[in-house]
Amino acid sequence: MMNGCVFCDVAKNRIKTWTFYEDKLIKAFFDIHPANLGHSLIIPRKHYSSIVEVPDSVLLNMFSLAKKLILTYREVLSIKDFNILLSEGREAGQEIPHVHVHIIPRFAGDGVVFNWKEKNELTTQFPRLQKEIQEKLKSLILK
């Protein structure tokens, strides 16, 4: 069944991609709209629209591959700087609702921009937020 998800089609080999790694859980390929040479995507083979749905074992494999890909690019392309980017949700810029991690090689003067205006006034909320986050996180981790 087609669910209209381009990364599900990629995962099921219905779309040709420049894949350089795949196993039972994940797949990695070049982004066809690259920000730089070597810009790659790592996806779970199963459809998850949010990172919170992805089993920890799959996330571990995705980020472990990201690490090994960086080691590989260091060797093969002599690239040493990268952004690892996962956009969660529409307001964060997630365009395809199938979890994916971008590995973006970076070079001096490459014109790739991640930019935000610092909202330093928000630091006054840190004490309250620290307490709330600590408590909730502890309950999730002890589950």
Q: Which is nearer to Zn ion, 49 or 72 (CB)?
A: 49
- CA distance readout (Å), 96 to 6, 8, 89, 135, 141: 8, 10, 9, 33, 29
Site size with Zn ion, rule: CB under 5 A: 5
User: Could you tell me the smallest distance in angstroms from the CB atom of residue 98 to Zn ion?
Assistant: 3
What's the rounded Cα separation, in Å, for the pair 76 and 98?
29
Is 100 marked active-site? yes
CA distance 89 to 59: 17
Residue 79 beta carbon to Zn ion: minimum distance, rounded to whole angstroms: 29
Using CB under 5 A as the binding rule, whether residue 8 contacts Zn ion is answered as yes
Decide if residue 98 touches Zn ion (CB under 5 A).
yes
Query: Which residues are near Zn ion by CB under 5 A?
Result: 5, 7-8, 47, 98
